[in-house]
Amino acid sequence: MTLEIPTEKVLKCTPKEVEECRLLFNNNPTVKNLFKDNINKVLKEVFHEHYKNKDEYSPGESYGIYDFEMTGRSVINKLNTNYSAFCVLLRDVNKVLSAMQQPTIVFNYQSSQNQILQVHRLNQFINVYKDRIFNTNSSTFQTIMFVLGQTHAWGQKREDNTIVLLKKQFGENNVKPIGKLGSTQDMVGGIDTIITINGSEVTAQIKPFTHLIGEQNLTFVMGAGNVKKYKTDWLIFSKNDKEILVFDNKNSKIVDGNFVFNKENLIYTLR
């Protein structure tokens, strides 16, 4: 099926609201994981006719929703960790709670434990109203699909442009992109590309970034989106597809929702 989304109904969150949700996910992974587990369950229930188990759709494909708004794996599967779409869902749920004269769900300026209690409330609301929320006529659902489609397109463009620069640096046949939508190597291993250098393979994850902050012998990479620990050999950061920074992932840390490296871990700067 094709899901037509009237653009006049699309009302995304403000950059400030999105950033608050990004920091929530990055600083309190328990919140993200509780939301992720519940969304996976809800999507399987609501879109059961489109749900496939691992390898059921085709070999190497992960579990999830297929052949929904397009042929193949649906972008709705990205809802479970997408903080921009989470922001839309949270905002619209709070609108309903306000109309029902019930306390809204608030994460900002809460302790980690209170944030966990708040996500339990959000999950409970989603479970009760799942068929209304995830309905193709729902403006909330239409906005979520728009946001997921847009962020996926941006991410794919960033990866494609990064691959071009990597091939220029390491050779056309030495860079193998992996990050296909639904690829188990990407989803489970966090691998976007495999690079062969002097006969040895190096795995890498590709992320965005806005700027760097230097502090003593450390480099803070800001604006890297959804931040978590990766087991890849390298972390590669792309800024507006014009500047590529390649960091050795050895001994990397996460501080206040941002990646932190020793300065000597920056091994390539590509333009």
pLDDT digits (tens, 9 = 90+) for 128-177: 999 999 999 999 999 999 999 999 999 889 999 999 999 999 999 999 99
* Mean pLDDT computed over 39-53: 96
Domain closes at, from 151, 166, 183: 151
User: Residue 64 sits in which domain range?
Assistant: 7-151
**219 contacts 261 by C-beta, under 8 angstroms:** yes
Residue 89 belongs to some domain of the structure: yes
Do residues 147 and 13 share a domain? yes
Percent of the chain with pLDDT over 90: 78
Distances (CA, A) of 160 to 51, 107, 175, 180: 28, 35, 12, 11
Residue 158 belongs to some domain of the structure: yes
Do residues 185 and 254 share a domain? yes
Residue 1 belongs to some domain of the structure: no
Do residues 147 and 161 share a domain? no
Overall domain count for the chain: 2
How confident is the prediction for the chain on average, in pLDDT? 90
Higher pLDDT, 214 or 58: 214
Residue 41 belongs to some domain of the structure: yes
Task: Answer yes or no: is pLDDT of 1 > 70.
Answer: no
List the beta bridge partners of residue 52.
64
pLDDT of the residue at 59:
83
Domain closes at, from 126, 151, 176: 151
Domain closes at, from 151, 184, 206: 151
Q: How far apart are CA 191 and CA 127, in angstroms?
A: 32
- Phi-psi sector, 223: left (phi>0), alpha (psi -120 to 50), beta: left
Q: How far apart are CA 144 and CA 53, in angstroms?
A: 23
Neighbours of 253 (CB within 10 A): 12
pLDDT of the residue at 189:
60
222 — pLDDT class (breaks 50, 70, 90): very high
Residue 2 belongs to some domain of the structure: no
Percent of the chain with pLDDT over 70: 92
Q: How far apart are CA 51 and CA 67, in angstroms?
A: 9
pLDDT of the residue at 7:
46
State pLDDT tens for residues 174-201: 999 986 554 445 444 689 999 999 999 9
Do residues 143 and 66 share a domain? yes
